[in-house]
Structure formats: C-alpha cells, structure tokens
Amino acid sequence: MDNPQVKEICAVVAQDFPSAATSDLPVWRVGKNHYARILALVNTAPITADPVRLSLGVHEDANVNVEVALRL
C-alpha cells in the first residue's frame, strides 16, 4: 500500500529505535479515516511494544499491533 503513514512509521522507528529493523508493516483502511497496522520489528536488544506504541502516538486514528523479535 502506498500509504504515507508507512514512511512516517519507518522514520519514527529509525529515529527512536536505531537498533530495530522493520520486518513487516501492513497497513489497511478499516474506516473512512481510520487505519489498522501491524508493525513487526527485529531488534538486537530487548524492548517491549509499549515504548514503540508511545513513539507512534502521532497516529491516533488507527489500531496498532506491535510485535518485537529479538535478534541474537
């Protein structure tokens, strides 16, 4: 999907979580101006989904599911 939110989300992750890599980011419309997304990250240090959700708080028009995998 050519949604501008994808680029914005990737930029936020790169800035706030430089050791994390986005492995998947599907975004789909669930209402007129509402979106859902699943953000899958791979990180070299353990992090929880909560700080990632807080960083993405600029997108309040959406449901967000964050998955974080640890890369050893």
The secondary structure of the chain as a DSSP string is ---HHHHHHHHHHHHH-TTEEEEE--EEEEETTEEEEEEEEEESS---HHHHHHHTTT-TTEEEEEEEEE--
Q: What pTM, to 2 d.p., does this model score?
A: 0.82
Is residue 1 over pLDDT 60? no
Residue 28: predicted pLDDT: 86
Average pLDDT score over residue span 58-71: 78
Q: Residue 58: which pLDDT band, with cuts at 50, 70 and 90? A: low
- Identify the structural domains of the chain with CATH numbers, from first to last: 4-70 (3.30.70.1350)
pLDDT digits (tens, 9 = 90+) for 3-49: 788 888 899 999 999 999 999 999 888 888 788 889 999 999 889 99
